[in-house]
Structure 1
Amino acid sequence: MTGPWMTLAITLAVQAMVSMALLTLPVMAPVVASALGVSAALVGVYVALVYAGAMAASLAAGAAVARFGAIRVSQAGLVLCAAGLALCAVPHAAASALGAVLIGLGYGPITPSSSHLLSKSTPAHRMSLVFSVKQTGVPLGGMLAGALVPSLMLLLGWQGALLAAAAANLVCAVIAQPLRAELDADRRTDKPMALGNLAQPIRLVLGHPALKMLAACSFVFSIAQLSLTTYLVTYLNEGLAYGLVAAGLALSLAQLGGVVGRILWGWVADRGMGARRMLALLAAVMALGSAATALLSPAQPQWLVLVVLVVFGASAIGWNGVYLAEVARQAPPGLAGVATGGTLAFTFFGVVLGPPVFGALSALFETYRAGYLALAVPTGLCCVALLRARPSAQATDGGR
């Protein structure tokens, strides 16, 4: 019998693999851009295409999980990511664009699938911690991409590195197969996969006040997260005169803060604070962290700059697990995957929209400080909204 820890282990592994797939090409962006004869700045378009595909796929995930099972849908996601990576190895910009969409279609269903599995196997009083541990697969995948892909590129070339990452995703899909019969036993083969099912997750979220508020907050939180990780190195390099190596180290430490934060916040939420109050606290820290980041100056000691960025990263990157656990709690029975898919559509929309708006705002004021300072407003409003929201009668004590 597959226990909760094995379920957590396989969902964590799948999450790490698809996250690595998403970041494999961006890690090699200057080299790939040179080979294709395009600007490395187009990596922003690549990431936007990935998340646009993910947003669409997340809406279909609930119905797909119900019909085919969460493990089968996860395997399909891994295969789509592998296909997308292989397509990106074709030396043409159009192939990379199509590959980005395929990777997004593979990435989008992974979190709804894992939420479906974990909501069944995890006791309510441990959900925040377990979901947070699973969500460490996102920065873990980023760390794997950063640590392995450059070395693979030197050894195999940029195309070989893409194919190696594709192979890793396929291996993970094969490893998951022995768990399929047991974990997908609740699938309903008569469940229709109609186009109208794409609207069900959105209708569920908009018809449920608690889910609607959580989705709105995730839209803002994802903007803060991607704005931090996308622009921090450039901000430190241009605004604070940090070298690229030092700026890259600062970003790594901010991401490490996110890894630690995802686990710590889940543990604290389950130990009595509750997910909603924990999210309100994280929103407040995001607001303060973004404002403090905007006020950094070259005259400040490096240790102080790093402390600010680690705290900012711990909140802006570390919120996901507590949030997903609360979505699963608030969802109607048996609809955790559908609710997660619906809320993730709003989350991914923030990822697609946020960084370009941040960049445009920073360009308008000719400083990235303006973008980080502006983030303090919506994150602060999320804190107020979460504190004022009344706990749903459907939520367990762990969610209040």
Structure 2
Amino acid sequence: MLGRNRPPRRRVVTRSNGEEEVAAPREEGDANRPLYRWVVVLVATAVQAATGYVVLGIGALTGFFRDAFDLTGYQTGMVVTAVALAPLFVLVPVGRMLDRFGQRAIVTAGGLWLGIGAAIAATASSFPILLAFLFIGGAGYATSQPGGSKAVAGWFRSERRGLAMGIRQTGLPLGGALAAATLPAIAEARGWQTALMTTGGVATVGAIVFGLVYRDPAAVERDDYPFSETLKRLLSERFMRPILGSGLVLVSAQLCVVAYLLLFLRDVHTIPLTTGAWVLSVSQILGMGGRVLLGAWSDKRWHSRRLHLVILSLMMTASLLCVLAWLPEGVSVGAIGVVAALLGFFAFGWYGPWVVHISDIAPRGYVGLTLALSMSATQLGIVAAPPLFGLLVDISGSYRFAWLVLAFGQVICALGVAFHLSRVSREDSEVEWHRSYQGV
């Protein structure tokens, strides 16, 4: 086992200027500033909403991109993929930088990069140029998800982290809900270019606010292990398998709903894009509620078993995708809205307990890297799922088949996570990690 028979490693802290010094362990957060913890939650939520307004806003504009550039279903999915592809390559280095330099500078710089990139993409005159600018700007999104989560994890102890993290995780569906409610109307009135420029402005403002208000804890504690060794160790750990698998599968459902629900409602149920945008907005709002309620519930009854709520989300998402697939033609918008709302609660709400579980189980001092590595799996789903879903629609000529394939994946993943939990506990994984490095 890696690290066996080695002497215990020294513990070091990295100051904001990059200098290191030996330090004793300390608790997360600052007991003398309890109110500021909630300010951290507020600004972390705000910057996530601002960046989510860009990333999920692209999904709300897919119908306009398809009409403007005469795209196929597969090409439409590529628009969503473009903005999410770059983070797949930079998330792990970003996690390393978060552990080393803290959240304030990294998250602020990433938000500015994303905002400027979206604004430049609004000037694109062709589909390939649009994809290129979205790809380049999308690299900035890699900082807000792990950075904001690490910010909250650093200011709250584990037993109180679920509610705080759940609130912080409402940022993404909040940004998506605002995007779904506003961007199609802006694009209808002023064109998709103005709508995309708007997303860039929102991301820029969010990054500036975070940089002005947020302060990192006094020191970032970490164990002095080589980066490559730690990364290899994390990838080989059993406790990472259900995290990576469930994140990949659930975020695939989430992004396919964001990217294709409006088109599905228009093409199958003849519901206008602007009306469908409100249905998607309702789904996003219920997703916000799901992240808060499931996160808070995980504190109360599921503190050491948060993945059980992820299994629940997988099964409910699968069931509701099947309902969506088999909705009869002519069904009312209200009935579709109810299905979309419930789907949003679980297909978006799972992220609350999932990310708290990661911050709980991550090795001390490597929360940023563990979060970033886990979110690389979700980023893979964000990149791959929309174009694959569109390809299934193109090949089969049916949204129903694509929704059912997506539902089947949720069921298989739920069974896999349940099997894992029957064999290994969270506590065993944590003990195994620390023993392997301390030569126990």
Q: Where does residue 256 of structure 2 map in the other structure? A: 227
Is the aligned partner of 1:321 residue 2:352? Answer: yes
User: Which ranges in structure 1 are unaligned for 5 or more consecutive residues?
Assistant: none
**Is the counterpart of residue 109 in structure 1 residue 149 in structure 2?**
no
1:91 alignment partner, SS class: coil
- Cα separation, 1, equivalents of 2:339 and 2:139: 35
- Evaluate the alpha carbon distance shift between residue 184 and residue 166 of structure 1 in structure 2; reply closer, same or farther with a 3 A threshold: farther
AA paired with 1:368?
Answer: Y
CA distance in 1, matches of 2:344, 2:365: 33
* Corresponding position of 2:3: none
**Could you tell me how far 1:251 is from its partner in structure 2?**
2.4
| Contact 2:44/2:210, CA 8 A, preserved across alignment | no
Structure 2 partner of 1:87: 120
Note the 1:58-69 alignment, pairs <5 A: 58-69=91-102
1:248 is aligned to 277
Unaligned runs of 5+ in 2: 1-32, 431-440
Given that 2:176 and 2:284 are in contact with CA atoms closer than 8 Å, whether structure 1 keeps it comes out as no
- Whether 2:260 is the aligned partner of 1:260: answer no
Aligned to 2:408: 377
Q: Find 1:365's aligned residue among 390, 396, 405.
A: 396
Distance 1:159 1:243 in 2: 20
Q: C-alpha separation between the residues in 2 aligned to 1:266 and 1:307?
A: 22
Change (3 A) 1:34 1:278: closer
2: CA distance between counterparts of 1:175 and 1:384? 42
TM-score by length of 1: 0.86
Task: Give the structure with higher Rg (CA).
Answer: 2
Of 98, 111, 120, which aligns to 1:78? 111
Provide the C-alpha distance between the structure 1 equivalents of 2:190 and 2:218, rounded to a whole number of angstroms. 41
When structure 1 is superposed on structure 2, of 103-112 and 252-261 the one drifting more is: 252-261
* Contact kept? 1:81, 1:166, Cα under 8 Å: yes
Structure 1's 200 and 117: CA in aligned 2 closer, same or farther, altered over 3 A?
farther
Alpha-carbon spacing, 1:184–1:162, altered in 2? closer, same or farther (3 Å): farther
**C-alpha distance in structure 2 between counterparts of 1:387 and 1:252, whole Å:** 32
1:238, CA displacement in angstroms?
Answer: 3.1
Q: Cα offset for 1:157?
A: 6.4
Structure 1 window deviating more from structure 2 (41-50 vs 257-266): it is: 41-50
- What SS class does the counterpart of residue 77 from structure 2 fall into? helix
Give the conservation status (yes or no) of the 8 Å contact 1:236–1:247. yes
1:286 aligned partner: 317
Q: Do structure 1's residue 134 and structure 2's residue 168 form an aligned pair? A: yes
Q: Percent identity?
A: 24
Matched-pair contact (CA < 8 Å) for 1:112–1:337: yes
Cα distance, 1:200–1:262 mapped onto 2, change above 3 Å: farther
Which of residues 140, 143, 156 is equivalent to 2:177?
143
- The answer to whether the 8 A contact 2:295-2:352 is kept is yes
User: 1:236 Cα shift?
Assistant: 2.9
Output aligned runs, 1:1-400, within 5 Å.
1=33, 3-24=36-57, 27-28=60-61, 39=71, 42-93=75-126, 94-149=128-183, 159=193, 161-179=195-213, 182-183=215-216, 185-186=218-219, 203-273=232-302, 274-298=305-329, 303-388=334-419, 389=421, 390-393=424-427
1:243 and 1:57, CA in 2 relative to 1: closer, same or farther beyond 3 A? Answer: same
Distance verdict in 2 for CA 1:130–1:241, change over 3 Å = same
Q: Please, what is the CA RMSD of the aligned residues?
A: 3.1
Contact 2:170/2:291 (CA < 8 Å) preserved in 1? Answer: yes
Distance 1:375 1:202, change over 3 A: farther
Task: Name the aligned partner's letter for residue 246 of structure 2.
Answer: C
1:383: how far off?
2.1
- 1:157-181 deviations in Å (ceiling 9; x for gaps): 655554454343333333233445x
CA distance in 2, matches of 1:342, 1:268: 25
- How far apart in 1 are the matches of 2:166 and 2:341? 18
Q: Distance in 1 between matches of 2:415 and 2:181?
A: 39
- Provide the C-alpha distance between the structure 1 equivalents of 2:220 and 2:378, rounded to a whole number of angstroms: 26
SS in 2 for 1:393: helix
Q: How far is the alpha carbon of 1:202 from its aligned partner? A: 5.5
From the superposition, tell whether residues 309 and 31 of structure 1 become closer, same or farther in structure 2 (CA, over 3 Å): closer
Distance 1:30 1:306 in 2: 19
40-49 or 136-145, which deviates more: 40-49
CA gap 1:275/1:19 in 2 versus in 1, 3 angstroms: same
In structure 2, how many angstroms separate the alpha carbons of the residues matched to 1:232 and 1:164? 22
Offset, 1:130: 1.7
CA distance in 1, matches of 2:39, 2:409: 38
Distance in 2 separating the partners of 1:211 and 1:235: 35
CA displacement, residues 275-323 of structure 1 (integer Å, 9 cap, x when unaligned): 1111111111112112222222126565444333222221111111211
Q: How many residues of Structure 1 are paired with residues of Structure 2 in the alignment?
A: 389
How far 1:186 moved relative to its partner?
A: 2.6
